[in-house]
Structure formats: structure tokens, C-alpha cells
Structure 1
């Protein structure tokens, strides 16, 4: 089973990159957006259509006193070609709009990739944390059980009271609950890991530090995020698309000029003519004068959507700025918490040993020993949580500056290049099969 193997963080992220359904879904959405470009480019291409008509008709004709009647089998065929010469630059602006949407969808895909990989880091560290906390709670339970046995032994020889035994029993019961809670937390963390990574967690390792990838000052983190974060880039491309959409709407007020050619052939249309054929080439000019006001409403709507898109850029920038400040502070706090927790663990370890020795010679109570054991477990748990928080905060800052992607992390996986599918379909004139593009 895959879950039985050891898994480094990079290996887990590689599996998430290749198999995560959310990421694969967004890749499919990006490929669908690619198709808007050939749809727009179709406005530069001619259209060709063929029509055929047939039937049966009974007719009667009278001319110069001569009456004629009979059955006709009228049938006709026509081939029509049309080409738009000018449509108010609608096609050009639709193409630019579609290309901006494609660029935006690529940034949305990058943002989804960063979110999935960050979720993978969080899930990975949550499992490591849950395993460590469960181990600490098991050790704490074993220590409390040992204290309970020692307290009962001393109670049997009259050195302590029943109250001391009850206090030890209470701590054992609480430790048993903490173990049960830690088991439940580990089960939940493993389930989330399976959801994000795609396999059950095996033996996990403490990951390498990624803090070297983070700029040394907060201002540089903020500037990098505002410049390179995919959510900001996607919203900027949305503004470009909205600008061209306004021009598309304005094209509805401009004339339309098209060239049309037709070949036709008809048979048995009447009793006098057996066949009739022809060819025609026409120029068609259409000038909109008034269409009920819909074109003006479309322009106003497009301008409001452009305003909304510009505001979304500011919203995303404010979000990135706030996240940069938040997780910079979280990283610094985690570093300080690790130092404090390490000092606390060392002090509480020494204190527990001393309290136990003093308890054996009657200078400390059972409560003192139980409290010292609890303090040590709490400080060890704080250290585990702080170490997890430091890793997650560091990877979040890497995500904020837009570098939490497979190439930047050096993941050993086949990188998905959205440009491959785009190049395959951009100039496609026909065909219903979807190219691979993966």
C-alpha cells in the first residue's frame, strides 16, 4: 500500500500536484477557457452553408386557352459563403478579451495550485503534530499511572492519605481522556491528509526549512505579494478583459459590412422551366440606428463591470497585504514560542526530577508531583505546536510572494504547462476531439 511507505513533504506535495481533484478540475476549467480564443477568432473566418429542398407538387396552368396540369417534383440546392469585412472591430476586441481571460485563467490555476500545495503542507504538518501530541499524551498517561501505583503503595503503608490516591486517580482519568482526544485528532488529520494528498500518510519526516526563500524584510514580502501573487495577477487580467468587453459593446453602434456569394440550382419549379441556376455576389451593409436601447444598456453594463473589476484588484491587494503582515507576525511569534518552549521543557524536566526526589523523602506532596508532570507535558505540547506553526507560517509567506508552485519548490513531478493546450487549439479551424494538452 502507498500509505505504508515513508513520505517526505516534497513527495507528498508532488502527489497532491499530480492527483488532487480540485487542482485537476481547475486545469480542465483553464482548458475550457482556452477555447474562447478560437471562438473569437472565428469572426475572422468565412462561413459556408449548404441548403437543399425537395418535394412534390400538383399544378394546373392555363395559357392562351391551353390548359396544362400535372405533378411537379420541385427541388433546389444552394451553396452560400459569407465573410465579414467590418463589424465595428468587434472580432478584434473579442479576441483580445478572450486572450485576457486565458491569461487570467492561468493565474487562477496558479492560485489554485498554491492553495492546494499550502493545504498539503498544512495537512502534512497537522499529521506530524497529531502523532507527536498523541505520543506525549501516552507518555503522560504512563507517568500518571506510575505515580498512581507509587501513591497506592505509600498509602498502603500509611505514608499518604486517601486524598493523595484520589488526586492521582483523577489525573489518570484526565490523561486517558486526553489520549482519546489525541487519537481522534490524529484520525481527523489523517483523513484530511488523504483528501488533499490522495494517499494515506506513511512515515512522515520533519521537512526542510523554506525560510531562506522568504525576503528578509516585511516590506519586501508585501511588495512581492502585490506584484506576483496569482490572485492579484488574475484580477489585473480581469480588468484587461473588461476593458475590451466595453469596446465590444460599443461595436454594437457601428455599421456592419459583409460579402456574400451564392451558387444555386433548381429543378421543376414550374411547367415552363425545367431547371434554373445562378450565381450571385453581394455586399451587405447594415447600419444600426435604434434597436430599442439594448446596445446602450450593454455599454453601460460593461462599464460598470469594468469598475467592479478594478475594485477587485484593490480588494485582492489589500487581502495580500493583510495576510503578509499576519503571517510575518505568526512566523516571528512561532520562532519566539519555540525558544520559550524549549527553555520551558528543559526547566520543567529538571523540576519534575527534583520534585520526585523530594516526594520520595516526604518533602513534596503528591499534588506537587502531578502538577510538575502536567507542566512538563504542557510545555512539550507547546513546543510541538510552535514547530508546526513555524513551518506553516513560512510556507504561507512563500505562497504570498507567489512562489509556492511545483517548479519553485523543485518537486519531482511532470509540470503541467497550460500553454501546450492553448497552442493546440488556438488556430484550430475544425474538429470535435479535445487534444491531450497535459
Structure 2
């Protein structure tokens, strides 16, 4: 019936999961965040530095006796220095913990982005279906009004009606044609939005479906679930951990730093004076040092205060996330509950309007109703049918909104036939990497 190009809502969601630029950008951002762990772990590892130098110098000595002496010297040296930090106020340990917490926050943010994208795709899909149906209804209305205008002109030509009926019919037809153009514009816009989210132009779309199985059947249970597992709230909790560890890292700058440095080197000298002295010197040393910060102009103390203020900010943001999720669940629940009886009411309205239109047309044929009565009743029927289309659209969108509000709108829960993005793959590939400029995918 729909042909080879037909696609359903599940296909659209799967395509968006793989191709949506917003989602792919969030995944790239998470991979960048993964690199924070090897950077933090570098504090446990030694630093190795190689140095080399070469010099050539000339000397001329002019004695009172008139003797003139010229000499030149060539020197070169090479050295390798290895430094190992033994203690730096627990900043390395806390830095690793902070990087791990930041990754967990980024992963939850990715889940939240995934939910937002899937909701946008479902909404765009249903918008197309709604606008297609409305456009078809508008075209049907134009066809009906064209017939009424033609009939009015024919009846006027034989003197069975007055010119007012013709004008009324043609005015209604012109208005209906204008609404067809508006419906076409809305459909074009919704198709462009769909292509933006999914990555391809829509084909022949089949009916959508609701996802009532992805959320509880009571508001209280939905609130409990959403406030405990929504990724936005979990991400905010991890961000609090990140800020708390930032305070500890800032405080660590006030503690001693203990390090060991080893160095080995060789230097060569070639002196072309009268004695022609050549020499090679090998050297090695090991140095243990303790650095105790006494006063840094107040910068370290200011950094601690700044970190504490940032910690307070993230705690407020956690409370804000909880409030936003609560409000989102209540709003989505209200929309869902309103959409269910709206469909029943719209269906009853369409049935009554259809019967009324048929009756008015028959009454107009025997002179009991005017053409204006028929036009008004037809407009009521079209409005009722459009209301039904919108109610069906809103019912499905409301179910997706409810699943998103409770934190359950994911590719896994939707059972999409896609290769799931596994954040552990990149994390495990880079976590303990000591060297290498290429990313795990070869860039």
C-alpha cells in the first residue's frame, strides 16, 4: 500500500539515533571529556626531558710583549632529566576522581541529549502526518466549495437564486484556497524540520504510535521515577562531585610538593689553544626536593574561595534540575491526560458535524436552508475533522513527552534496531594511554 519508500516512526528514530548532528556532537564532546582521565593520571607518571647544546667561541689575547695569541673552543653537551612527583597535596588523586566524575556527568548529559533528539524526531514525524492530513482536508473542502460555487452560478443563470449566493460561495472558496496554501507551507516546514533531525527527506510516512509502556500509569509513580533516574538530575549530581573535588584540588595547592629529579649528561670540549686540550665529562645527579608554599600573593586562597562558590552554584543547579524535571513531568502528564478525552470528544464532534452537514444540504435542496447555512455547516465539519487530527497528533506526542520527562525515552527502551553507542569503548581505549597522537578511530 505504501510502497518501498514507506517508513515508520521506528525507522525515523533509528536514523536520527545514527545521523543526528546534535547527538553526534554530544558524543564527540563526551570523547573529548574522556581525555581528562589520562591527563589527570599523568600526574602519577614521570616527566622526561632531553636537552642538548653546542657552542663555538673565539679568543684573542694581546700581550705587552707584542705576542698575539688566538684560540678557539668547541663545546657540546647532552643531558636527560627525569622528574617524579611523589606528593603534591593529593591534587593528582583528586584530579583523577574529578575527571572520572566529569565523564559520568557527560555520559548522563549525552543520555539527556538522546532523549531530547528522539522526542524532537517523534514530534517532527507526527507534525508531518498532521499537516498532511490537514492539507488533504483543506483540498477536500476546496473541491466541495468549488462544486457549491458552480451550482450557485448555474442556479443564478437560470434565475433560481440570487447573486448573493454566488458571491458567498466564491468568497468561501477563495478563503479555502488560501488555507490550502497555508497548509502546504506548514507541511513544507515540517518536512524541513524532519530532514534536519533525521538526516534525510521523509518518504511515505505510516501512522505513528504511542509509548505508554515507557512510563508509570500514575503521576505519583512518574514523579518518583523521574526524580530518581532522569539523566539531567544524575548529571547535576556528578557535577556537584566535580565541584567538590575542585575545592580539594585548590586546597592541595597550599600543601607541600615532594619530588625526585635524576639527571645524567655528557659534555665535550675541544680547545684549540697551544695545548690543544680535548676533554669529555660525564655527570649524573639525583635530587630530592620539598617545596612548601608560604604565600602566593593570595592567589591560592582566592582559588579556594572561588571553588567553594562554584560548588554552591552546582548544588543550586541540582535543585533547579529537580524542579525542572518535576515541572516537566506534571506538564507532560497533564497534556497526556487531556489528549485522551480530546480524541473521543473530537470523534463525536466529527460524527455529529457530518450528519448535520448532510441534513443541511438536503434541507437546502428543498428550500428550507440557504447556501450560507450549507457553507457554515461545511466549515464546522472541516474544523471538527481538523480538531480530530490534532487530537490524535497530540496524544502520541504527549506519550513521547511523558517518556522523556521521566527519563525513559532511549534507543534501548524503544528497542530501536541500531548499533548502540557504547561510551566505554573510547574511554577504555584512552584511559591508560601513555603516548600517541592519533585518536582511537585513526585521526
Structure 1 residue 155 displacement after superposition: 2.2
CA contact (8 A) 1:4 1:201 kept: no
Q: Which 10-residue stretch deviates more, 339-348 or 207-216?
A: 207-216
Correspondence list, 1:300-339, <5 A: 300-339=305-344
Correspondence list, 1:349-428, <5 A: 349-428=354-433
The TM-score with structure 2 as length reference comes to 0.95
Q: In 2, distance between residues paired with 1:24 and 1:61? A: 73
**1:190 alignment counterpart:** 191
Q: Over aligned residues, Cα RMSD in angstroms?
A: 2.0
Correspondence list, 1:156-171, <5 A: 156-171=157-172
Q: In 2, distance between residues paired with 1:278 and 1:47? A: 20
Structure 1 residue 224 displacement after superposition: 1.5
Q: In 2, distance between residues paired with 1:71 and 1:269? A: 8
**2:230 alignment counterpart:** 229
Could you report, residue by residue, the CA deviation over 1:321-369 in whole angstroms, capped at 9, with x for unpaired residues? 1111111111111112111100000000000111111110111111111
Secondary structure of the residue aligned to 1:101 is helix
Could you report, residue by residue, the CA deviation over 1:113-171 in whole angstroms, capped at 9, with x for unpaired residues? 11111110011000000100000000111111111122222223333221111111111
The TM-score with structure 1 as length reference comes to 0.96
Correspondence list, 1:14-53, <5 A: 14-53=14-53
Secondary structure of the residue aligned to 1:429 is coil
Q: In 2, distance between residues paired with 1:179 and 1:268? A: 93
Q: In 1, distance between residues paired with 2:93 and 2:244? A: 13
Q: In 2, distance between residues paired with 1:325 and 1:53? A: 71
CA contact (8 A) 1:100 1:240 kept: yes
**2:138 alignment counterpart:** 137
Q: In 2, distance between residues paired with 1:424 and 1:49? A: 26
Q: In 2, distance between residues paired with 1:69 and 1:410? A: 87
Could you report, residue by residue, the CA deviation over 1:394-428 in whole angstroms, capped at 9, with x for unpaired residues? 10110111111111110001000111100000000
Q: In 1, distance between residues paired with 2:164 and 2:147? A: 17
Q: In 2, distance between residues paired with 1:155 and 1:317? A: 68
Q: Which 10-residue stretch deviates more, 182-191 or 147-156?
A: 147-156
CA contact (8 A) 2:210 2:400 kept: no
CA contact (8 A) 2:214 2:413 kept: no
Q: Which 10-residue stretch deviates more, 409-418 or 155-164?
A: 155-164
1:88 paired with 2:89, answer yes
What stretches of structure 2 of length at least 5 have no aligned partner? Answer: none
Could you report, residue by residue, the CA deviation over 1:257-283 in whole angstroms, capped at 9, with x for unpaired residues? 001101011111877671221111110
Q: Which 10-residue stretch deviates more, 355-364 or 141-150?
A: 141-150
Structure 1 residue 38 displacement after superposition: 0.2
Q: In 2, distance between residues paired with 1:77 and 1:41? A: 29
What stretches of structure 1 of length at least 5 have no aligned partner? Answer: none
